[in-house]
Amino acid sequence: MATSRPARTVTAGPRTKHAQLSDALAEMAVKELGPEAAIPSERELMATYGVSRATVRKAIDVLVSDGLLHRVHGKGTFVATPRLESRLHLASFSQDMRRRGLEPSTRLLSVEPDEPPSEVAKALALDPGASAWRVDRVRLADGEPIALEHGWYPRALLPGLDRHDLGGSLYELFADVFDAPIDAAEQTLWGETADAATARRLDAPVNTPLLVFRRVSSSAGRPLEHVVSRYRGDRYQLHMSLGRDDLGHRRTAPERNTKR
């Protein structure tokens, strides 16, 4: 790499050298290297582009922050695998993956009746002491683990759930077998890092960033699902279309003069 002619050059000018080098590395990553390929070493980049080590490191830092590159301790810097992008909508994981041309699959970890935690029982409107199905699954896209799901489902509304194939879309199963299509949900999102057990399930390094979704879904007004899904933050991202919230910004209609 050090002896080849770079597609872009880095020169003194109005744009900083590290910004020019970031452009060059971004073009190299997309057009030449591809996902998970190693970029040239700092020494090679210094020789190829005639810049300092500080410039190289600053250029790489920019692309790491942008998510185009990622560092592996002791190994180097690599082109990041593009994240799967999702829009916030009411759909199952299987439906979401199929829409983007990927093959969804499931690794079922466990399904068994159990007494849910109090906050789960409350969300599912269960009577005290009532049991629910606890379903733990790893969700995959084109064979790659993307999410770890821990779900709770009322036994009274879904009798014999453990006798069915839980390797596909539960939403399709609920609609087709139990006549209970999911039609509404409340969802909360937060961030975490993967502990050792979660990282192992997701084939990811410990402390991998996670996007965590807690969803309470219902069918015809009956709570049917409480699920917490942990998505690999290095493989998954969200897209949201936002509009201005006019509450508090609406113009007050001018007062009419009622005096005659």
Supply the CATH number for residue 106's domain.
Answer: 3.40.1410.10
Are 70 and 136 contained in the same domain? no
Average confidence (pLDDT) over 65-75: 80
What's the confidence (pLDDT) of residue 90? 54
* Contact yes or no for 96/238 (Cβ under 8 A): no
What tens digit of pLDDT does each residue of 229-255 get?
Answer: 999 988 876 666 666 665 554 444 444
Q: What is the CATH number of the domain that holds 44?
A: 1.10.10.10
Q: CA-CA distance, 152 to 154, in Å (whole number)?
A: 7
Q: Give pLDDT, residue 3.
A: 42
Based on the domain organization, do 42 and 161 belong to the same domain? no
Question: Is 200 found in the same domain as 112?
Answer: yes
Q: Are residue 192 and residue 89 in the same domain, yes or no?
A: yes
Q: Which domain holds residue 124?
A: 84-239
**CA angle at 259 for the pair 254 and 260, rounded to the nearest 5°:** 125
Which string of b and e fits 28-42 if b means at least 16 CB within 10 Å? bbeeebeeeeebbee
Does residue 83 carry a pLDDT above 80?
no
- Would residue 183 count as lying in a domain? yes
How many Å apart are CA 67 and CA 232, to the nearest integer? Answer: 13
The predicted-structure confidence for 138-167, as pLDDT tens digits, reads as follows 999 888 999 999 999 999 999 999 999 998
What's the whole-model pTM score?
A: 0.61
As given in the structure block, the two tokens for residue 184 are 């509404």
**What pLDDT score was predicted for residue 30?**
79
Q: Regarding beta strands 76-79 and 69-72, do their DSSP bridges make them parallel or antiparallel, or are they unpaired? A: antiparallel
**Mean of all residue pLDDT scores within the chain:** 83
> How large is the angle between the packed helices 53-65 and 42-49, nearest 10 degrees?
110
The confidence score (pLDDT) of residue 75 equals: 87
Closest to 174 (Cα-Cα) out of 232, 245, 105, 222: 222
- Token pair 């439906």 is found at 95
% the chain with pLDDT above 70: 80
List Cα–Cα distances, 84 to 101, 180, 209, in angstroms.
Answer: 11, 29, 15
Task: Tell me, yes or no, whether 246 lies in a domain.
Answer: no
Identify whether residues 69 and 176 lie together within a single domain. no
Asked if 39 contacts 28 with a C-beta cutoff of 8 angstroms, the reply is yes
Top mean pLDDT of 63-67, 100-104, 184-188 is at 184-188
Total of domains in the chain: 2
Answer yes or no: is pLDDT of 227 > 80. yes
- At residue 1 the predicted structure's pLDDT band, cuts being 50, 70 and 90, is very low
Both tokens of residue 233?
């933050």
The mean per-residue pLDDT over the stretch 40-53 comes to 92
